Every structure is written in structure tokens, then in C-alpha cells.
Structure 1
Amino acid sequence: MPEHEQGTVTAASIRLESLTKRYPGQAEPAVDNITMDIPAGEIVVLVGPSGCGKTTSLKMINRIIEPTSGRIFINGEDVTHVNADQLRRRIGYVIQQIGLFPHMTIAENIGMVPGLLGWSRARISERVDELLDLVGMEPSAYRARYPKELSGGQSQRVGVARAMSADPPVLLMDEPFGAIDPITRERLQNEFLRLQSNIRKTIVFVTHDIDEAIKLGDRIAILRKGSKIAQYDTPEAILTAPADDFVADFIGSGASLKRLSLSRVRDVELNQWAVGRLDDDRAHLRQALTDSDHGSLLLLDENQRPVRWVTGHDLTRSGESLDRVGLPAAATVEPHATLHDALNEMVTSRVGCAIVVDDQRRYQGIVDMRTVMRAIDEMRESSQARDRDTAGQPAEAG
């Protein structure tokens, strides 16, 4: 396959051809003759029950585990027998345990592989700052810190930055968010999707969580025991047309709700809300609320960032500052979040909607139940149209 390019960033196609791993003393192979093509620039998620061989398959791509038989191609090059150390320097690798070196600073951790490749100090320093910016960590605040000074989420971001340090075309990620609390995990997933929209790497991602696979994957490979592929397709195709009972059981109930993970906030029409500014005259704010069909007003600061929800009663409390009355505007999502994320935020919101903000946290609009229902209706209509088209196709001649 040709190399995928976006600006100066490149990604590589991967082909696994009859890849097999047998361990001595075990009757059944850990990975049994897996063949799959991974397109350049996509996130392909390997998911399946515990013990199905997904991590073993992942580790054979960079030959941390050597295959018993079969071949691995990266951008058409057979890398099955090239020098394994050199191969790994061309492939980024992120694991659940992160694996930062505790005696090294963050800058030293990120710059380790470029140093092994002979980059100059100036080039490494520039790359470290670039990557810390990319993962949302201020270089001046973090480059001199040590791993023990970071939270779990920050450490995971540094792990991703280190994996990208030499600008590899391929990233392998083995349950990178699995050991993190649910709220941080969701934020890191969204940050990861934002990052991928910029870097467009080829990413092979292992998880045991089908919801994470649906949210993150351009394609999903659902694996049976021995890494046999039960179904390899887009999330939408897997949710709407499971290949067999094994896939349907693995997806579980609530497939319609899971499909909300297929729609991004950026792809739906946002609703608007009555808004005002903290420094606006209260009479003006009351009039804005009266003119709307809402029971509350969203107050923004001077940078258009949401601060408080206030009611008409709150606006009559002249003895208190507006940044202290009402409720905090806490239920927010960014455009790359899914509608499933937005629905989760709506459930926690006292106002019944999620506020959409950009990467500077500036107000963009809101997602409410009307937004979600419109998206569900569109999905249903699209699925019904697809079913009609399929039913109308003539059978292939045998």
C-alpha cells in the first residue's frame, strides 16, 4: 500500500500474514494464523475476551514477542527478520503501566529514543517541547519534573509523547487507559482522538472494553481464542450487522445506545442557549432570560468561557456577585467527544444539557436531549435505508 501522508507527517500500512505464535508445552497456539491488513493512518482496535491473544498479536508487530511463523509487513517491507532493536525504534509503544524511567526527568524520558538515534541535543529539546505542547502539558512546567511528581493521567500523556518522540509511522498501544479512573480515562480518550486528528498515525490499539473500541476505532477486530478474527469491520458495521452470535454476545445489550459513540459532537447541529456575560447589567440578563424559552441563563467570562448557570431568582440577589450565585457550568464536552460522552454529561447536569466548548474552553453551543434524539433518528433512518438497499440487491451467481 502507498504511504499515507498529511503534511510532513507519515503513517504506514501494516499487513499481518499467517502470523502464528506457539509456546512450548501448550497444545493450542496463543495466536493461530492471523491475517489482516491495517490501513495507513487509521486506528485499528483489537478487542476480545481475556486470553484471546490480542496483546500477543500486538507485541509480535514490533517483535517484543517473536512469531513462530508468518510474516509482518510495514509499508510493504517484510520486517519479520530485520534487526529487532532497529525495528522497535521505528515503532512507538505505549503500555498500561506506562514504564517511565523514574530516575529520568520528563524531558529525558521523552528524548531517550531520539538520543539513541543520534539526534542533536538542540533537535531533541525542540522535539520534547513540541510533544509536551501536543499532549497539553506546558513544557516549562513539566520538562524538568520526575515521573513521581505526575498524576496518572499526566504520566499517561508523557508515555504517549515518548512513544511519538522519533515521529514513528506506527504506534502500538496496549490498554493504555486501562488502569486510570473512569473520568480521567474519558478525558484521555478524547485527548487521544484530538491528537490523532493532528498526527494521523497508524495505531494498533488493544483493549478488553468494547465501548472503548467503538469510541476510538476506525476499524475493530473482534478476536476469538487464538486471535482468530470473528469480525473485522467499522464500528458501525459491527453494531448494525454482527457477523455471528459470538460477536453479538460480545457487543452485549444496548447496541442502540452504543451507537451514540459513533457520532461526534462536531458532526451534529448544536442547539443554542440564552447566554450573557458576568459583567453584563442584571436588567439586561433578566431580559435575555425572559426572551428565551429556557429556565436558566448561561453566564460566560470575558474569554467566552462558561462559568455559571443562573435563574431569574439568582439575578435578583443583588447582594451577591454573579460568579457566586446559581450553579457551576461543569458539564462540558469538546467537539471531538462522542454523543455518548455528551449524554453522560447531561445526566450529571442539573440543567439537562452538556455545554460544548472548544480547546480553549470557549462556548460553542449545547447538546441536549433534542440533539441526541435527532442523531438517533438519523442513525435509524440510515440503517433502514441500508437494509432496504441490501434487500434489493440481486443474489450473486454461484
Structure 2
Amino acid sequence: MTEPMIRLEGLTKRYPGQEHPAVEALDLDVPAGEIVILVGPSGCGKTTTMKMVNRIIEPTAGRILLEGEDVTRVDPDRLRRRIGYVIQQVGLFPHMTIAQNVATVPRLLGWPRQRVAARTDELLELVGLDPAAYRDRYPKALSGGQRQRVGVARALAADPPVMLMDEPFGALDPISRERLQNEFLRLQEEIRKTIVFVTHDIDEAIKMGDRIAILRERSVVAQYDTPENVLSAPADDFVREFIGSGASLKRLGLARVRDFALADRPVALMAEGPAAALAVLQRSGADAVLLLDDERRPRRWAGARDLARAADDPAGGARALERVGMEVRAVVEPQATLAGALDAMLTSRVGGVVVVDPRGAYLGAVDMSVIMAAAETMRAAARQAAGGDGAGDGPGARTAEGAR
């Protein structure tokens, strides 16, 4: 059996004057390259557990093994340099530039200046921030989502094998949170770090985790399993109540847009003008055509009346098309979940969400036909796993393997 990246053995934390321990004899293995979510009710000990991994909080008893090495008694500063740490409020140093913040640990490790600068620029690009535009700014000049990206870059600076994330997206507005979750999952596909991630939100746990540890009080593990199995086979009533109702809807949080056939929508290049777009629309029988720029990036939805107005516009061509129809707002990338796509769909006036690649080029669309087909696929897989008894949402059901 492969050695886990992190192994917790009998991990316990007692505070003076407290009748019960905050964390009681916790055993947990965290596989290399996976995101393991600690989730549970407020006060159950999940953050205390995570902080003991890098010994921000010292354990009272038990062992912490990192890559097979017992790090319970090693120098804690040396340990923390092997572990990246991202918190909800980011914790950037306000008097330091973005580049200086990212470079904090490499500078402590004595890296040469040129290597530090190259690593800083590499990481800013990795988290989607142009180094030329951001390296010399200060944290106060950034949005909350941008500061959170810098926090992730800083945690990755010394290329640690392990990252700890304490409700990293909890302080963001829902739109920024969704975008940053998706961006982080895309990033994780590249970097494959071992991540312990604390959240109180079961929907976030289902979306982000390779495995979920649902904790009772004192960090007692109620169930430790894949999101699919937690949804399909809750261990007991505590887990079932914590998950809540709507298992079928929550399964959409496991399914990625990229894993299902996309819907086709009529598309036309704006450069070809209104007449060409109208011809495409008429052949399709749809209510609107999706207008793309020269790089095939979605720009506007236009109906027949819109195109007729554009044809009469003296500006002509693409310039006329820029003035009609509706701006494309509901857009997702392939790594988005179907739940996220469905949520975006509710804001769309055309009944669909446009899917684009990382460059913003059109790939297809998600509409209700895609959602329904995906839901039926997952229900069928659950029924098959349950022995064909039709209990797609029952305790013994399981979702499709690889649906995430």
C-alpha cells in the first residue's frame, strides 16, 4: 500500500480547564496529490486539527507523519517551510509589494535574488495575475479575489509538497468564490499538491474534495470517503442530516462540464456581417445566434430583429453587430461543475450557458438538455451500483465513477 503523504495517529489536543479534548485521538491518512476536506459543525475541531499539522497549535498527544517522517518533535519553523498555508483573510503584509509577499519564504530560505524573482513571476502567472501589472502593487490596491490569488501564490512559493487551506474562499462574494474555486481546481490539475482544506460548507466540500472527512465534536470522524460515496451511502443519521436534502442536485456539484457532451448553438462570426449571421439563424430554427469575434470569443446574442437592425445600420459589418442584441454574460469553462453551470443558467435570458476554453474561445453550450442527460447518467450509475433496485438517491446508491 502506498505511504500517505500525511498520517495522523492518535492526534489529540487538550486545553487546560476544558472537560473534553478539542481533538480526541484522531487517526487520518491523507493520500499524496489529493484534496482532503475537513468539514463539520462549528466548533467540532476541524481548524484545530488542521493547525496541528503544521504545529501552529501544538498537539497534546499523538503523532504527525509527513512523508513517513515523524515531525511531531522537529523544529516547527523548519516544518512550516515544507507546508504552504492559506487562510480566509489571506494575511498579506500590507507594507510589502505583491512580489515581496510572494517571495517571503524563498527569501527566508536564502534563495538567490534572480531565482526568487523568476519564481515570483512564474507563480503570479500561474494564479492568473500578470506579473508586469501586479508585482509592484500593494495589497490594498487589489480586490478580495486578487488578494486570495496572491495568498495561494505565496503558499506555493517554495514548492511545498503539502498545503493547508483554512476556509480560503469563505470571505469572498458568491461570484468571486465560484470563479476562484474553479481556478484553483484547474491549478491543482497542474501542481498536484497534497491539500488539507477546512470548510463548514458541505457543497464546497463536495465540489473541491477528492475525499471528505465529516467530523463530529472533538474531530471524531463520522465518515471519511469520496464525495460520491458520502452522497450515495451516508454512514449514519448524523452524516445524512449534515449533508441535507437534495442528493441528486448535490451530485451536479461533482460532475464537470468537460465530462459531458455539450449542446450546439448557432454561431456566426461578427466579421462576416449581419446577413451571414441571419442566414445561420434562419437555417438553425433557433431564437438567437451567438456572435463570435475573430478569435471565436462569444460577444453577443442576437435575434432576427436585432440582425435586421444591424443590416440597416450605416456602420455595417461587425461594428453594427456590436450595437445589437444582448451581451454574453453566462459563461463557464470546462472545469466548472454542472451545478455551477445550472446556477449561471438561471441568469441567462437565452436558456443556456456558453462554454469557453482558457483563451475564451467558444466550445459549446450547457442547456437543460445537457443537465437532464447528465442527471439521468448519474442516476443510472447509482441504480446499477445499488444492484438495480432503483434506489438512485438511497443510502446504498453511488454516482458514476469518474463523474467528477
Task: Identify the residue that residue 352 of structure 2 maps to in structure 1.
Answer: 353
Task: Identify the residue that residue 302 of structure 2 maps to in structure 1.
Answer: 310
Q: State the Cα distance separating 1:282 from its structure 2 match.
A: 2.1
SS in 2 for 1:58: helix
CA contact (8 A) 1:17 1:35 kept: yes
Unaligned runs of 5+ in 1: 4-11, 392-398
SS in 2 for 1:220: strand
Task: Identify the residue that residue 22 of structure 2 maps to in structure 1.
Answer: 30
> How far apart, in 1, do the equivalents of 2:233 and 2:353 lie?
31
After TM superposition, the structure 1 = structure 2 runs for residues 203-218 of structure 1, keeping only pairs within 5 Å, are 203-218=195-210
Task: Identify the residue that residue 361 of structure 2 maps to in structure 1.
Answer: 362
> How far apart, in 1, do the equivalents of 2:274 and 2:201 lie?
49
After TM superposition, the structure 1 = structure 2 runs for residues 53-202 of structure 1, keeping only pairs within 5 Å, are 53-202=45-194
**Is residue 221 from structure 1 mapped to residue 213 from structure 2 by the alignment?**
yes
After TM superposition, the structure 1 = structure 2 runs for residues 209-358 of structure 1, keeping only pairs within 5 Å, are 209-317=201-309, 318-320=311-313, 321-358=320-357
> How far apart, in 2, do the equivalents of 1:207 and 1:37 lie?
18
> How far apart, in 1, do the equivalents of 2:194 and 2:91 lie?
22
Q: State the Cα distance separating 1:284 from its structure 2 match.
A: 1.8
Q: State the Cα distance separating 1:291 from its structure 2 match.
A: 1.0
> How far apart, in 2, do the equivalents of 1:77 and 1:32 lie?
22
CA contact (8 A) 1:100 1:159 kept: yes
> How far apart, in 1, do the equivalents of 2:256 and 2:388 lie?
26
1:292-340 C-alpha deviation (Å, 9 max, x unpaired): 1311100001111000000011110034411121111110000110000
CA RMSD in angstroms, aligned pairs only: 1.3
CA contact (8 A) 1:273 1:365 kept: yes
> How far apart, in 2, do the equivalents of 1:74 and 1:289 lie?
59
> How far apart, in 2, do the equivalents of 1:236 and 1:174 lie?
23
Q: State the Cα distance separating 1:72 from its structure 2 match.
A: 0.6
Task: Identify the residue that residue 394 of structure 1 maps to in structure 2.
Answer: none
> How far apart, in 2, do the equivalents of 1:312 and 1:67 lie?
68
Q: State the Cα distance separating 1:287 from its structure 2 match.
A: 1.3
1:21-41 C-alpha deviation (Å, 9 max, x unpaired): 000000011001110111000
> How far apart, in 2, do the equivalents of 1:32 and 1:146 lie?
42
CA contact (8 A) 1:135 1:157 kept: yes
Task: Give the counterpart letter for 1:282 in structure 2.
Answer: P
SS in 1 for 2:64: strand
Change (3 A) 1:390 1:347: closer
Task: Give the counterpart letter for 1:212 in structure 2.
Answer: E
CA contact (8 A) 2:273 2:321 kept: no
CA contact (8 A) 2:120 2:157 kept: yes
CA contact (8 A) 1:2 1:75 kept: no
Q: State the Cα distance separating 1:389 from its structure 2 match.
A: 7.4
Q: State the Cα distance separating 1:290 from its structure 2 match.
A: 1.0
1:225-256 C-alpha deviation (Å, 9 max, x unpaired): 00000000000101111111110110111111
1:80-123 C-alpha deviation (Å, 9 max, x unpaired): 11110000011000000100001111111100100111100000
> How far apart, in 1, do the equivalents of 2:176 and 2:30 lie?
29
SS in 2 for 1:280: helix
SS in 1 for 2:132: helix
After TM superposition, the structure 1 = structure 2 runs for residues 9-24 of structure 1, keeping only pairs within 5 Å, are 13-24=5-16
**Is residue 384 from structure 1 mapped to residue 376 from structure 2 by the alignment?**
no
1:336-385 C-alpha deviation (Å, 9 max, x unpaired): 10000000111110001110001111100001101001110010000000
**Identity score, percent:** 64
Task: Give the counterpart letter for 1:15 in structure 2.
Answer: R
SS in 2 for 1:348: coil
Unaligned runs of 5+ in 2: 314-319, 391-404
CA contact (8 A) 2:206 2:254 kept: yes
CA contact (8 A) 2:15 2:22 kept: yes
> How far apart, in 1, do the equivalents of 2:336 and 2:8 lie?
31
Task: Give the counterpart letter for 2:63 in structure 1.
Answer: R
Q: State the Cα distance separating 1:390 from its structure 2 match.
A: 10
1:55-81 C-alpha deviation (Å, 9 max, x unpaired): 000000000000000001111111111
Task: Identify the residue that residue 48 of structure 1 maps to in structure 2.
Answer: 40
SS in 2 for 1:262: coil
> How far apart, in 2, do the equivalents of 1:167 and 1:243 lie?
37
Q: How many residues are matched? A: 383
Task: Give the counterpart letter for 1:349 in structure 2.
Answer: S
In the superposition, the TM-score normalised over structure 1's length comes to: 0.94
In the superposition, the TM-score normalised over structure 2's length comes to: 0.93
> How far apart, in 2, do the equivalents of 1:253 and 1:159 lie?
34
> How far apart, in 1, do the equivalents of 2:273 and 2:218 lie?
67
